[in-house]
Every structure is written in C-alpha cells, then in structure tokens.
C-alpha cells in the first residue's frame, strides 16, 4: 500500500473522536467507521450493555476506546466525560453529536416535562459537548464537529412539533458555531438523516404496511440504514471536507426533494 493509499484507507489514523449516543444505530455505525479507519473513540450512551459490546468490537479492530454512561443534557457529566476521554486517549480531534430522542404527541397535549426531555437530549447536549471540546480544538487549531439533525429540521411532522423544534435548533446552532469558529480550522457541519432503520423507528418499520408506505415516499424506494448516514458523517469528519463549513448534508434517499 502506498502512502497515498494508506491515507485514503486510514483517514483518521492518529485521531481521537467522541461519538455520543453510540450504543446503537447511527452512533454505533459511526464509531465503528471511525475506528476501522484508524481513530481511537470515546463513546457514551445510557445503554451500558450496548457500549460494552461496541467497546469490545473497537478493541478487536486494534483501536483504543473509552466508554461511559452519560446524561448528555447534564453539563457536569458531559464536561467530566470529555476531560476523561482526553486524559485516556488524547486531545479530541472529532466530535459527533449523535445522541437524540423522538417525540410523537400532538402539540396541545404536550407537557413541560416532555418538552424538557426532548430539548435536553437533542439541543442542550450539542451545546454542552461543543463547549467542552472547543477550547482544546482552538488551542490545536484543528477540529471537526458533526451534529446529527434530521430532515425534520426543515419539514414539519404531525405530532412532532417539539422534535421539529429541537432539530431546527440544532441545525441553527451548527451554523452559529461554524460562524464563531471560522478562524480556527475547525469545521462544523450537520447531517440530516431521513427515514432510517434505528431503535427509534424499528417498531414502526417492523410493520410491513408502514414500511411500504414510507418507501413510497422515498425516491430511492428503500429505508436508510445506519451505515448510509455514517458514510456521510465520516466524510464531514475527514480532511476531504476541509472546505465544507456550516452546512447540513441531508441523507434521505431524496425525500426532501419531493416535499
């Protein structure tokens, strides 16, 4: 393998990454993709068994990992996790804010607790993690931050008003952070998935009629897989995306273009 081929095959060799919500779905696929291409990865989630399984798989790839359960909406827990990750693996080069939760309830029936739950997980987590990693990235004049939003950041869904709000806020926070970090060689972008088979959608898509209904709305006529989204995330984490900044890459099989 030539030096150029090795660089392409191991885009993240020597890098340290953090992936939130990593125990399953898009987060797991992203963490494994980073490890396959050479990164050591700090992973967090509330699902300890999923984290332990992922950490073991990262180890089998010959990479180091640090796994911990973290309430991503709690500032002290987030900052402590980031500090431990840097202590054990090295300065953080890449942050993927993937942790997220859904909401399916009519607006008129929403309670304060549901609003707080969704906003804490989908927005406050981005705020805390980005602030925790940025000082080191700014000192090193290098960094990649990718926030997982959704096509629902720009398309309203029935019974998903607060989810829409949270993903729209995360999209705009991405742009705001990008504007503020422009002088530090820190790329800040987002990925907006469409309908993807994950833990949040598995029950719904397990119904063949429901799955077929969604497939009819997708120009590519299939439900997305976590690996489809991870491929875009890894591109934005790589130096090949060095001139991509403040953008949202929608990976949705064409759903947005038909709305």
Residue by residue, DSSP assigns 149-166 as --GGGTS--TT-HHHHHH
Secondary element (H or E) of residue 18: strand 16-20
Would you please indicate which residues are annotated as catalytic (active-site) residues?
163
What is the tens place of the pLDDT at every residue in 202-227?
666 666 767 777 777 888 888 889 99
The pLDDT of residue 105: 86
The model's pTM is: 0.93
Spatial distance between the Cα atoms of 206 and 213, rounded to a whole number of angstroms? 12
Backbone angles phi, psi at 240, to 5 degrees: -65, -20
What's domain 3-251's architecture? 3-Layer(aba) Sandwich (3.40)
For 11-21, the pLDDT digits (tens) are 999 999 999 99
What pLDDT was estimated at residue 12?
Answer: 97
**In whole numbers, what is the pLDDT of the chain averaged over residues?**
92
- pLDDT, one tens digit per residue, over 98-131 is 999 988 889 899 899 999 999 999 999 999 999 9
pLDDT, one tens digit per residue, over 30-71 is 999 999 999 999 999 999 999 999 999 999 999 999 999 999
Q: What are the angstrom distances between the C-alpha of 100 and each of 39, 54, 80?
A: 23, 18, 20
What is the number of alpha carbons within 13 Å of residue 37 lying toward its C-beta?
A: 21
**Residue 195 pLDDT greater than 90, yes or no:** no
């Amino acid at each position: 393998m030539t030096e150029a081929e090795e660089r392409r095959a191991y885009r993240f060799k020597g890098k340290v990454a953090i992936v939130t919500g990593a125990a399953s779905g898009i987060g797991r696929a992203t963490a494994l993709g980073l490890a396959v291409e050479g990164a050591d990865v700090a992973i967090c989630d509330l699902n300890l068994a999923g984290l332990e399984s992922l950490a073991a798989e990262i180890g089998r790839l010959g990479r180091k990992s640090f796994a911990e359960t973290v309430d991503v909406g709690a500032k002290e827990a987030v900052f402590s996790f980031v500090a431990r990750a840097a202590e054990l693996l090295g300065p953080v080069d890449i942050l993927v804010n993937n942790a997220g939760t859904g909401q399916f309830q009519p607006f008129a029936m929403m309670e304060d607790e549901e609003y707080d739950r969704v906003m804490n997980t989908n927005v406050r987590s981005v705020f805390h993690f980005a602030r925790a990693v940025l000082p080191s990235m700014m000192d090193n004049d290098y960094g990649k931050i990718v926030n997982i939003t959704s096509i629902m950041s720009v398309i309203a869904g029935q019974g998903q008003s607060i989810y829409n709000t949270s993903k729209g806020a995360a999209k705009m926070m991405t742009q705001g952070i990008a504007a503020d970090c422009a002088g530090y060689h820190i790329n800040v972008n987002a990925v907006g998935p469409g309908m993807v088979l994950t833990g949040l959608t598995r029950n719904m898509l397990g119904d063949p009629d429901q799955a077929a209904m969604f497939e009819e709305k997708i120009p590519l006529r299939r439900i997305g897989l976590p690996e489809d989204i991870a491929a875009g995330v890894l591109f934005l984490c790589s130096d090949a995306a060095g001139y991509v900044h403040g953008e949202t890459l929608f990976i949705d099989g064409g759903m947005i273009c038909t709305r």
